[in-house]
Every structure is written in C-alpha cells, then in structure tokens.
Chain A
Amino acid sequence: MPSTLETAKNPQQLERIVIEPLTRVEGHGKVTLLQDANHNIRQARLHITEFRGFEKFIQGRPYWELPVLVQRLCGICPVSHHLAAAKATDMIVGASELTPTAEKIRRLMHFGQTLQSHALHFFHLCSPDLLFGFDDDVRHRNIVGVIEDSPEIAKQGVLLRKYGQEVIRVTSGKRIHGTGAIPGGINKSLSTSEIHYLQKDIAQIIGWAQEAVELVKKIFFEHYDYHLAFASIDSNMMSVVGADGAFELYDGGLRARDYQGKPIFDHIDYRNYNDYIRESVKNWSYMKFPFITSIGQENGWYRVGPLARVNNCDFFPTPLAETQRKEFMAIGDGLPVQSTLAFHWARLIELLHCTEAIAELLCDSDLIGKDLRNKGELQCCGTGVIEAPRGTLFHHYEIDDQGIVEKASLIVSTTNNNQAMNESIRKVANQYLDGNQLSEALLNQVEVAIRAYDPCLSCATHAIGKMPMEINLLNDQNELIDRLEKRVTGQINRTF
C-alpha cells in the first residue's frame, strides 16, 4: 500500500505536468505529474488549492442554527451537512434517541439526497466516459452526447434526480435551505397528500433504478479486465454499518476492514471517532489526509463511499439491492472489490436500495405522526456522523454556556478519500502517462480515475465563465515546454 511516487527523491531533476482545473469535479483541483528524463512518472499529487474555511464560518454561531447554516457549506450536498449537523445537535440538546416519526422522516430525506446525488453522478458526470469510452471526443462525451445517443437513458437520469429532489423538498419543507431537521427531531411530519404525491411515481423510479444497475453491469462486463484493473488500488475501507451488519446510510457504528477484508475495527461508537482516526497535513495541499490511527500514517489511509459501503456491509435490507450486492461481491472472489471503476457499479446498487427504501418508508404510518421532537439536558459537545453520498461525513461541535459554537471540526467525505485519490492517480499515471506527448485522451484517464470518487472539492461559488482547463508541461528547471488549454466552449488549443 505505501506509494513510492508521492515524493520523488530528486524532484528538481524531473519534468512537471500540471492539469487544472478538473472538469466534472466540483471545485478546482490541480494534478501535478513529475517525469524524469526517461519519461517515467516519479511523482503524482492531487493539489487542493482552495482553503475552504468551514470551521471558521461556523464558529461563533449558536448551535440551534447549525442544521440550517451548514447547508450553505456546499451546494452539492447540503442535505448531508444538514443531517450530520442535526445529529450533532441532537447530542447537544440531550436527545439520546429520536421519535420514530423524526427518525423516519430524516431517513427518507437522506434516501432522497443519496438518490439524486447518485443519479446526477452516473447519468450526467460519469456515464459518458463509460458509455463512449475514454478516447471519445470530449464534445460528445457529455450528457448531451448521452441524450443524443440514448435519449431514454438521459431522460431517466433527469427524472430520477428530480424525484430525489422532490423527496428532499417534501421532507424539508423547502426546495433549498429547508428546516426539516432541527436539534432533537424534525420541524414537520408529512401529510397524507404529500405521501401520495411521492408514491405516485415510485414504482417507475424503482424500475429505472433497476435498469440503471443492469446498464452499469453491462458496461463493466463488456471490458471486464480493463474496468477491473483501471486505477485499481489495494486499500482499507471504512463505513457506517447497522448493528446487525446491514448496509446503513443514516446511523450505525463505524467499521473498517483492510485490503483483504479483515477487520480493523467494528461497530465503533462514532462519537469516539477521534480515538480511531487522525488527520495529517502535507505542505502541498489544503486538504488533510486522514488515516486509521492503529495502522499509522503510511498505510492507514482508506476509502469511503459507495465502494467501501457495499464491500463492508454484510447485507442490504432491501431485496433487489441485496441480489445485486451478491453479484457485485462475487467478482472479488472472497476479497473486497478494489477496482476504482467499481465505484460506479456500487453507486447504482445504492441508488436502487434508496428507491426500495423510499417505497417502504412511504407505507409507514409514522411519517404522519405528530411526536416530532425529544430533548434532555444540554450537553457541551455533539458529534454527528452519516454516510453522505460520497462517503462518511463527520461533524463535531463544542459550545460554550451560552450555546455558541466555540469549536467545529468537520471531516468531509472527499477528505476521507484524499490519499486514495492520490493513489489512484499514481496508478493511472504510471500505467498510461509514460512519457508520450500530452494528449487529451491520456489526461482524461487521470480525470476518469478522480471522477470515480465523485469528489466535492469546494462549495457553491460558480461565477459564470470560469471553467477552463489548462495543462502545463514544465521541465526540471520549471520552464514551460508545452501547454494545452481547454476553453469554456470546449475547444482545446495547444497554446505553447
């Protein structure tokens, strides 16, 4: 597991390739590849150059505002932050457990969030790569290309995403900035008409989810060896699981397994996560590098998200997803599936599970219950952990006696995958960028590896007209020797 490529021995004698920013990745990242005189990749790093400032944004705010406030951290996954903060504030208000109505409505909201996030990623961001191949024209390899070639698939993607958004709207009360979850419970339950509204389309939604899983399997098996090997790395994996080992997104204990699937820890109370996970800092990235303490910094990095969750759980509690999980695990032949592109397959199994779970919950009479909130004695700190679409998300807060946040600590999903993304880049770079001239197809291989993790590198700033991609090739003297520039129109020019 340790990499020899992160820090080369004599970087000043190497050639530097810079790729920035990444397309189809939220926020701006930069990839630097260092080549030696023989065009071998000696160093590979995914730099995160934007300081996010989340903790500072939160400090000084009253704890009861947190579930609403933190939605503004990220325009991509506001519901994940909303629910993680709500769980942390449950602890602060002394609500050791939620009412059945509150817990089920939060779960419903979370299934909606995961459904819409996974639908966007598969149908919009990654399916063009998978459907058309990595060497296809980049102008074709986007959602419009998908729509032109497979209009029904594309339409299903839009409507799956829309359905997930509707679940969020109904459960949180608003399209965005909802106040659905509050410290100790929820703000509102569902009406019968709201339930009927969501039930109306759910059978169709489940059907489309099943078709999506079959599609990703077909794609995976069409080039089985390639998909299995691409950016494949042996990693530890961490996720939340239920008390019975069931797949879980909302609540449970922490489970970590090593690259062979052997347990590292299991059913850990997430409130004690600091005893099991630490973060290291590197001077070339603002994003920290978490690792499992008992294994250490060098080998203790891990993966989170769909691949880790499907590998780690013992079963899915819904039948269609469980059938798909068994088929997925069979390709590992008793070992965890480590293929980075298998993230996409795992993601769609989760999507299918979300649709089944939504259908089940919509038949539960607790959704219209009136017992919405619990509370107890005020506590000085709270920790909330959920499985966000991209992986395990930690929120920890400490408050003063006025209820004002003194300290906030967040480990977001993408940070958990930080080292793993670097490792995947190195694998791809070593395999494909072997010193040949820069080409769009080769560079896209690196992007495909990163996109598999669906990273969310920053928040919702989105000034129009700021999305070019620039690729610089520098020699060992830091002199520019080649440059590719992708403009906002999609046109690619060699500008050196």
Chain B
Amino acid sequence: MTDPQACAPKLIFTWGNPSRGDDALGPAMFDLLENHKLKTSKLDEVDLLTDFQLQIEHAVDLEHRECVLFVDAGVSCSAPFEVRRLEAERDDSFTTHAMSPAAVLAVYRQISQHEPPPAYLLTIRAYAFGLGRAMSEPAKENLQKAYKFIIKQGSGIETL
C-alpha cells in the first residue's frame, strides 16, 4: 500500500493529542519541524507524520525507510528529553488501543518478515495531561531544546 517512490528514506513520527496539555508535545514538534522543512532544505530526506496515538497500521509507514525517529511526551524520563535506540519488542501495549513504538516495530517485523529499520525514541519530559489544558511552561522549554537537538542532526537522524 506504500509507494516506495513517494517515501523519503527517513521518517520522523510524532504523536499525541494537541488538546491534552503536555500530550501536545508530539504534534507541536511536528508543527515546528514542518515549518522548518518548508523554510529550509535541511530535512529534504525526511518525511514527517503525526497521529493521535500509535497503532498497528503505523507499521506500514515504516516500509521503505532507512531510519525512523519517534517523538512523544513522557513522564518517566529526565528533562528536557531523552533519546534511546529502539528494538522491536512485544510488550503489553499490544493489548491496548495505543501501542508503544517498540511494539509497532515488532508488528512491522512480523508482517514484513524482515527486520525493521533502525529506530530511535525521543521522549520529551511532560508534566500534565488535562483535557483542554494548555501545554505547561516547563514542557514548552523542553520542546524547544528537543527541537534544536533534532535540527542540529538535520537529515542525519541515523547518527543519533
């Protein structure tokens, strides 16, 4: 279903609900990067995608990629953000309506019968998730630091 000609070799995938406080960190990062991509050519080799949450069909978005960076909000990481290499893993998020990025990689491996592309998770420290709440000030600061970090990498996200 994915046309290889239409795919950039690298993918940055963000997720979250823009109207749930700091859960908006993922989509806010998407907006920043999309804006940056429009103004410069530094992310030409990168596709940007965003969604409310990760699900099984996102395994299809990993097809024909050389590298993937997932970006999300999290409460259990250090501020301002953490980056780690992901391995495909069948964790318990398989049993919910929202999956972890490692679980999406595992689905990719199972349905495609080959290893997923190298993937990283950048988790931006979040603090509150109330419906209708604005993003918190500390989260905004963390977002900016994470954004600068990604921009500094440019298209070289595989070097993370």
Contact = CB atoms under 8 A, between A and B. Distances in A.
B155 interface: no
Contacts of A78: 52
A86 B17 CA distance: 20
Nearest to A164: B57
Given A56-B132, A72-B17, A75-B52, A463 B92 contact: no
B17 A461 contact: yes
Contacts of A162: 1, 57, 60
A72 B19 contact: yes
A361 to B, nearest CB: 20
Nearest to B57: A162
Interface in A11-33: 23-26
A461 B23 contact: yes
Contacts of B91: 488-490
B107 A147 contact: yes
A205 to B, nearest CB: 11
A134 interface: no
Interface stretch (A106-114, A153-161, A344-352): A153-161
A166 B1 contact: yes
B65 to A, nearest CB: 16
A261 to B, nearest CB: 33
A464 interface: yes
A76 B99 CA distance: 12
B28 interface: no
Most interface-central of A139, A142, A144, A464 (chain B CB within 10 A): A464
B49 interface: yes
Nearest to B90: A144
Contacts of B136: none
Contacts of A313: none
A148 B110 contact: yes
Contacts of B76: 463-465
A461 B94 contact: no
Given A147-B107, A463-B129, A486 B92 contact: yes
Contact of B126 (A142, A148, A158, A463): A463
B96 A158 contact: no
Contacts of A466: 75
A4 B23 CA distance: 42
Given A142-B95, A158-B107, A460 B90 contact: no
Contacts of B18: 72, 177
Nearest to A166: B1
Interface in A112-153: 116, 120, 123-125, 139, 142-144, 147-148, 151
B94 A462 contact: no
B106 to A, nearest CB: 6
A24 B59 CA distance: 19
Nearest to B100: A464
Contacts, number: 138
Contacts of B59: 158
Contacts of B23: 460-463
A11 B19 CA distance: 40
Interface in A68-107: 69, 72-73, 75-76, 78
Contact of B17 (A25, A163, A459): A459
B73 A158 contact: no
A52 interface: yes
Interface in A48-75: 52-54, 56-57, 69, 72-73, 75
Contacts of B110: 144, 147-148, 151, 154
A486 B92 CA distance: 9
B111 A144 contact: no
Chain A, interface residues (CB within 8 Å), range: 35 or more
Contacts of B72: 464
B132 A57 contact: yes
Contact of B53 (A75, A147, A177): A75
Contacts of A155: 111
Contact of B123 (A124, A464, A489): A464
Interface in A465-496: 465-467, 486-490
Contact of B90 (A116, A120, A142, A176): A142
A23 B96 contact: yes
B94 A144 contact: yes
Interface in A411-469: 456, 459-467
B24 to A, nearest CB: 10
A218 interface: no
Nearest to B110: A147
B96 A161 contact: no
A201 interface: yes
Nearest to B76: A465
Contacts of A165: 57
A462 B90 contact: no
Contacts of A24: 95-97
Interface of B: 1, 15-20, 23, 49-53, 55-57, 59-60, 72-76, 90-98, 100, 106-107, 110-111, 123, 126, 129-132
Interface of A: 23-26, 52-54, 56-57, 69, 72-73, 75-76, 78, 116, 120, 123-125, 139, 142-144, 147-148, 151, 154-155, 157-159, 161-163, 165-166, 175-177, 201, 456, 459-467, 486-490
Given A166-B1, A463-B75, A487-B92, 19 more contacts: A23-B95, A26-B97, A57-B132, A75-B98, A125-B95, A142-B90, A144-B90, A157-B56, A158-B107, A162-B1, A460-B53, A462-B23, A462-B53, A463-B73, A464-B72, A467-B93, A486-B92, A488-B91, A489-B91
Closest 4 CB pairs of A and B: A75-B52, A72-B19, A460-B17, A147-B110
23 contacts: A23-B92, A26-B96, A26-B97, A53-B130, A53-B132, A72-B20, A75-B52, A75-B53, A116-B57, A142-B92, A147-B111, A159-B60, A161-B57, A175-B51, A176-B50, A460-B16, A460-B52, A463-B74, A464-B76, A465-B75, A467-B92, A488-B93, A489-B91
